[in-house]
Amino acid sequence: MDISNNIHSNEVDDMIILDMFSGGGGLSEGFFRSECKFVSHIEMNHHASMTLETRALYHALDDKDDYYAYLKNEINREQFITENEDLSKQVHESIINEEISSQTKGPIINNIKNIMNKMDVNKIEGIIGGPPCQAYSIMGRSRSPDCMKDDPRNFLYKHYIEFLKEFDPDFFIFENVPGMRSAQKGIILKDLQKKVTKLGYTPEIKILNAENFNVLQSRKRLIIVGHKTEELFFETPNTSNKTKYKVSNILNDLPSLNPGEGMDSYQKYGKNKITGYLKDFNLRTKKDVLIHHQARKHNERDREIYRLAINKWNKEKKRIKYRELPEELKTHKNRKSFEDRFKVIAANSNAAHTVVAHISKDGHYYIHPDIKQARSITVREAARIQSFPDNYKFEGPRTSQYVQVGNAVPPLMAEKLAQKVKEFI
């Protein structure tokens, strides 16, 4: 099949991408690594937008010394941006910190067109991203009195379709939780398929697990790839791969912490060597510095529960149930539902359980497997489970950092998808 008409003024290696509902940048990180360029990232959260700006500037810099000086607290963020003023201005303009709505959609589209003119770009080749998943998630619906039926986030996919209609990219990648298939009894997904088909796309839907993309985490995501070719994307040779490494490979080189210890800012790794997994997938290099490794404070009751949970998991490979706790450690009146309140990271497994944004509220579901530490995991440990490299800086307070990590597409998974899209298109 002749695809020469799909190649525009940009070189193939410089595929031009628009990133919607960007979050902290996990999906865009994979496309950055695959030599793609972005006209814009659209994200409503202020701290996540700052993270996107910091990371986009990192990728724009040939010399990363200023970036590492920022990570080491040798310069602050304002100085980092000022030191690279020309690039910083371009990057800042490309980050659109807005909620996508009926009122803002038009101005955002005009803003993107202005950015394209400044970049001398006449075609967006791909649109990537996925709207917030709370309205589609099975857990979210179970906690809502009306099953999220009237939640306006149900219909954010329609804005995504409007951007497809406006910019007519060669492909799109829409990602969300598997629960989207059953949301509103499947009506939402069917409507999305119908509308993108009318725009000339072939929408292919697949549930992919991050653990098949060298990520040490079981994380299922619904991925829709839309394209205008006659071939099938998911039937082409698969680039996925399940790693041989264990989750312990992303924990064992980090300094041990008691609750409340560590720092969000720069600290030394200590004497532990870089593990094979970190080296093979560039999560930690000799140049990197350790940030976001600060443990939450825990009361002694919670720590005692953590020790029981760790002991049961490490010895029996079983999760502790709330009813199994000693009576003096139980504080909830509801003893029958949500028995699985405490969960230990499975260090000797090939995949940890799914990291979600709820980690920002408490760490009970993400307990470090070392009984001596008896604490929940740090932002850096959660980020590693998600396959973010150690030089990835999350802006904002710790709560926001956890949310950004928990909502993200794992960068290693995103990178494989980006590479496959480039080969396919």
For residue 360, CA distances in Å to 131, 193, 379, 402 come to 20, 34, 9, 5
The packing angle between helices 85-94 and 105-119, to 10°, is 140
Active-site residue, 133 included: yes
> The dihedral of CA 61, 35, 412, 252: what is its sign?
negative
Strands 171-176 and 220-227: antiparallel
Amino acid at position 252, single letter: N
Q: Which two tokens stand for residue 13?
A: 């290696």
- Cβ burial of 5 (10 Å; 0-12, 13-18, 19+) is exposed
For residue 387, CA distances in Å to 21, 27, 128, 336, 394 come to 20, 11, 19, 35, 14
Q: State the Cα–Cα distance between residues 184 and 207, nearest whole angstrom.
A: 19
Q: State the Cα–Cα distance between residues 240 and 276, nearest whole angstrom.
A: 19
Q: State the Cα–Cα distance between residues 247 and 30, nearest whole angstrom.
A: 21
Indicate which residue of 52, 112, 124, 133 is catalytic: 133
Three-state SS string over 124-143 comes to CCEEEECCCCCCCCHHHHHC
Residue 23 φ/ψ region, left for φ over 0, alpha for ψ in the -120 to 50 degree band, beta for the rest: left
Q: Which residues are catalytic, by number?
A: 133
